Amino acid sequence: QVPPAGTMCGILAVLGVGDVSLAKRSRIIELSRRLRHRGPDWSGIHSFEDCYLAHQRLAIVDPTSGDQPLYNEDKTVVVTVNGEIYNHEELKAKLKHHKFQTGSDCEVIAHLYEEYGEEFVDMLDGMFSFVLLDTRDKSFIAARDAIGICPLYMGWGLDGSVWFSSEMKALSDDCERFISFPPGHLYSSKTGGLRRWYNPPWFSESIPSAPYDPLLIRESFEKAVIKRLMTDVPFGVLLSGGLDSSLVASVVSRHLAETKVARQWGNKLHTFCIGLKGSPDLKAAKEVADYLGTVHHELHFTVQEGIDALEEVIYHIETYDVTTIRASTPMFLMSRKIKSLGVKMVLSGEGSDEIFGGYLYFHKAPNKKELHEETCRKIKALHLYDCLRANKATSAWGLEARVPFLDKNFINVAMDLDPECKMIRRDLGRMEKWVLRNAFDDEKKPYLPKHILYRQKEQFSDGVGYSWIDGLKDHANAHVSDSMMTNASFVYPENTPTTKEAYYYRTVFEKFYPKNAARLTVPGGPSVACSTAKAVEWDAAWSKLLDPSGRAALGVHDAAYEEEKAPASVDPVLENAFHPPAHGESTLVKSAVPAAAV
């Protein structure tokens, strides 16, 4: 049996080019090279008349034969894909009379299109962005996965061309206008518009009512993790010692022995954590790694190393959102070190806080309706924050991140729950994410020690060490003067930065991406502790205290900003809401989500 050939890659497609010349072709190859970090293993370009599909490949599955672009049997359908299709075996079984040229899991896309036309996208289970060209009638489609785990941008050239790119950097110079391609959508040249192919029950935000079934939650999460072990290269788990990444590591270590990858690379699981020396995450992660018996790699960075990397981070991540940059920097540094050890794929814990209402500000959710609507808004915005960070910070070094919490089926199960069980209820002894913690609370074969299973959350940007954020603020203060802040609303009328830190990131971003369209791909709006703008209304005190860090949800985190503890801003009920066993729940690469609205 040929192994699947998943690839995390960089794609660039330019369709309907005005001048078909060698110069144009070499320009497209040159722009495609801006994505080479995403796929250092091989590159390819396919041109048909005035259409070009370029690809930079990172080979994760079937490294020897899955080079792209991929085709159908007679090469009339060409597709360039960034992603992993986990159910490609089942899909191939439905396509019995089709001949497959490679072992690539992504090749099914070309054949599914032949068989089912444009409506096949919802059959795919995985993370992907792709562009498909049908040379028979020169029509094309482009699509992005349900949640937007894989990045995709769409742009328009003055010559009437349409562009698609994994990252903004490959099309921002040559397109008059461009947008972040919306997740769960499909663009069809036949209809000339975007339409949503992903339409799960939770999307309407009406209140679900399924009773809480801990075993269903556990089994669907385990399935989500196991299917992501489809790989032909060495891999590991990003482990912050927080609940979410610890559960990923625990489930992988349980099932590793029965996978094909264990036969290839051995059945010792490698785990990775980064932090400043002595940070909450390093301590927590080591404890979990020792418990699970993994080969644990503890990576350190200094505040200065983080600051020195900021410009490069902003170039790669393509945002000026404060929380995203704070959390992307350690992840970017860690990814480089992980790649240097020969690891090409990692599993990560993003998405759980959005699905289960895990951010500390959820303590203030007034009722289950508001809580449910906020979780829906958070999932819909993930592509602007955590997914963007997890994908681009790792891809910067040719590392692929997979996120089991954002499995299509797992989200359906978790979002179908009556949100009453996600409410934080002190009287019932329920802390945030109790539904998830309880589902993995197995007395006979414990997944994790109790005090880790019930540990309070730490945001990733805080968990790597509290002095990291303080160092960033000092650095920004040295670069941004008071008079610059006074005039900020004139210099940056859209999404005006309100702090020196935000102003500094914005100037760096504008240097790389000066066009108006670029700044519009980044969301803005008031936020506290990663809430969406709507949830800021939950507590009157928050409107005065807009800091995106988790510690800002005053009186909720034990390490809440000490100096802020004026009686007016502390809710005594929350202050004593629970007595967590230890500090620190940052799901590695997960928790620093947005301070921003959908």
Query: Binding site membership for ATP: which residues?
Result: 238, 274, 348-349
Establish whether 273 is a catalytic residue. no
**Measuring CA to CA, which residue among 594, 596, 284 is closest to residue 464?**
284
To 5 degrees, how large is the angle CA 202–CA 207–CA 208?
A: 70
Count of residues making up the chain: 598
| Pair 218, 410: CB distance under 8 Å | no
- Give the C-alpha separation, 179 to 6, whole Å: 26
- DSSP class of residue 279 equals -
Q: 183: number of CA atoms within 13 Å, CB side?
A: 24
Residue in 231, 154, 215, 242 with CA at minimum distance from that of residue 448: 242
Partners of residue 425 on adjacent β-strands: 430
Cα separation, 218 vs 67, in Å, equals 36
Asked, as a colleague might, if the bond just before 493 is cis with ω within 30 of 0, I would say: no
Q: Are strands 270-275 and 235-238 parallel, antiparallel or unpaired?
A: parallel
Do residues 467 and 596 touch, judged by C-beta distance below 8 A?
no
13's enclosing H/E stretch is strand 10-15
Coil vs helix vs strand at 524: coil
**Which residue ranges make up the annotated binding site for L-glutamine?**
105
Residue 329's CB is within 10 A of a number of other CB atoms, namely 28
Q: Are 46 and 39 in contact (CB under 8 A)?
A: no
**Strand order across the 345-347 sheet:** 295-300, 270-275, 235-238, 345-347, 400-402
**What are the φ and ψ backbone dihedral angles of 237, each rounded to 5 degrees?**
-125, 135
Q: How far is CA 37 from CA 54, 245, 365, 392, in A?
A: 14, 25, 41, 10
Q: What is the spatial distance between Cα 396 and Cα 378, in angstroms, rounded to a whole number?
A: 25
Q: Which residue has the tokens 């509290």?
A: 466
Token code pair at residue 29: 């190859």
Binding residues, by number, are: 105, 238, 274, 348-349
Handedness of CA 205, 553, 505, 497 (dihedral sign): positive
The kind and range of the H/E element at 370 are helix 368-381
Question: Phi then psi for 296, rounded to 5 degrees?
Answer: -100, 135
**Contact assessment for residue 357 and residue 379, using Cβ atoms and an 8 Å cutoff:** no
Asked if 54 contacts 67 with a C-beta cutoff of 8 angstroms, the reply is no
The catalytic residue among 9, 106, 421, 530 is 9
Helices (H), 382-487: 386-395, 408-415, 434-439, 450-453, 460-463, 466-479, 482-486
How far lies 321's CA from each of 170, 361, 495, in Å? 21, 19, 10
Give the span between the Cα atoms of 9 and 105, in whole angstroms: 14
The angle that helices 243-255 and 214-227 make with each other, rounded to 10 degrees, is 70
Single out the residue of 472, 458, 466, 497 nearest to residue 329, CA to CA. Answer: 472
User: Catalytic residue numbers?
Assistant: 9
